[in-house]
Structure 1
Amino acid sequence: MSSASRRRPWDVHRLPSAEGSTFLVTGGNAGIGYFTAEQLAATGAHVVLGSRDRAKADTAMASIRSRVPDAHLSHLPLDLADLASLKSVADRLDLDHLDAVVHNAGVALDDPPRRETGDGHELMFGTNHLGHFALTQWLAPLLSAAPAGRVVTVGSFAARSERLDLDDLQSTLDYRPKRTYGRSKLAQMSFGFELDRRLRAINSTVLSVVAHPGGALDSLTPSRPPVSVTTAAERLRALPAALLVQGKDAGARPVVRAVLDPEVRGGQLWGPRVFGLRGTPRCEPVPAHMADAEVAARLWAASGELTGTDPDLGFR
């Protein structure tokens, strides 16, 4: 019998051991990031929660430990909207290698006015995309030192209907919050696929994988007080929506598989099985506009100029 035929099917409730590994989850104190951290902690890995707010990170770690008593957790102060602060990330981690980073943290604004980071970048594009773009450079030596490092970029179903305006990446001319958010997530996903192309070109051992949670609603998410609370009434009202979407605990599963599964390959897109909105994780086709290498190369060049990073992001 071949090893492939003997391989146990992926089970979201029986994750493989990752003892001895270290994973950094940006925005690990809430939402998809919290459940990604909780699920990864159950594998025996050291999970670092990257978060601006120490109190929220402490609350999240306490919640995880209430479910995973022997969880190995730590907090990394991390502000993706402050590019200069990211330069010291590797030193502050104090590790000899990093097995994976999950680029998850993000900002979503629903209403005008347009806001900017301290560096003068539109807040959603600057945090969701540029912050993670720059962070990758400072983590590159640690990822390259791992036996098989991974960069897992968390995108969004919202990016499917958007297209990048390379002449107005920061929505200076035309700002519409929901569209700007979708484009910031598209920029992240385009970056993830372009990073893989560049890593393969230099025969790097690091993989770049993209994942998305599908449709993930708070009202279908199990409570994790005081991190998040979903009442019975809220869950009851949301039951009809469960035919199409899911909670954030389930939404984290494609991300977790992208981190852990040894069968995952660079350049893949992982999402929920049913219409990309709900269900168990699966590898899905990459939409053409996300795989456009010419657009990605122009985005990469612009991102490098805006962040002042190495054109190769430190990978050699």
Structure 2
Amino acid sequence: MNWSTVTEFTLEGFSQYPKLEIILFVLCLLMYLVTLLGNSILITISILNLHLRTPMYFFLINLAFMDICYTTSSITPMVVKFITKRNTIPFTGCALQMYLSLAMGSTECLLLAMMAYDRYIAICHPLRYPIMMNKSVCLQMAAGSWIIGCLTALLETSSALQLPLCGSSINHFTCEILALLKLACTSSFTMDMIMLVVSVLLLPIPMLLICISYSFILFTILRINSADGRSKAFSTCSAHLTVVTLYYGTALSMYLKPSSADSQETDKFITLFYGVVTPMLNPIIYSLRNKEVKGAIKKLLNRNVFSKRL
């Protein structure tokens, strides 16, 4: 079966567990709404509050917007399937969904590395921070992350959809590229190399840059004499480090494990975690571990309450 003859794909999802499917749908829908609310609030306060117009929050706005897009692309097929009682998705819809998931996930990997570099400059070179992380540099770093993420996703998606297929039933709840590649009639050396190069480019290399950045940050913090100074420095990094651990931990377990190490059922739950749970936790983590964000939220709420009383 050539890809050009496929007009739609069947998403099996969790259909073999009907009771679990209902529970997962309700949980995912609730988490999706929390993700939309949390990330929208984070974007709003970062834009409206003058004190938060810094490089760190500029990258945070990008991350929050990316999480909204990423979760939307991941959770939409499940919601549509449950509401319409149809488990099929058009070829173009599957291609678009796969591309968006890959583009958002790839860009997030790079953006987290850029955020680690930002923290490194802020803590290790505070006097040079305004010059080294000026508006132009921040825009270039963010734009570079988006461009590389979108181009690698386009390469992966276009290459995957040109493989000859021996079926149209995807054993997943979304058009995930690894699940789709299992439908290929023959192995493709070119596709294998593309997946390997992209995986290395977007996972171990950014992770290495993050580890190097935090190694320098740790050495700098330990040299700070003031306990309050050390505590403040740690607090500015702890939220980002928590998000990095959650995201890279699940992504690495998904894309850099041997294909026979886990079943496809395990892959579904891993995808569900980093596609739904992690984007929901990101704004919560940044809010709970950041006094500036909590202060901005309180000011925004007080302003709204006061305006309503008037």
Q: Is the TM-score greater than 0.5?
A: no
Please indicate the TM-score interval, normalised by the length of the shorter structure: under 0.3
Q: Structure 1-normalised TM-score?
A: 0.25
Q: Structure 2-normalised TM-score?
A: 0.26
> Of the two structures, which has the highest relative contact order with CA contacts closer than 8 Å and spacing of 6 or more?
2
Larger helix proportion of the pair: 2
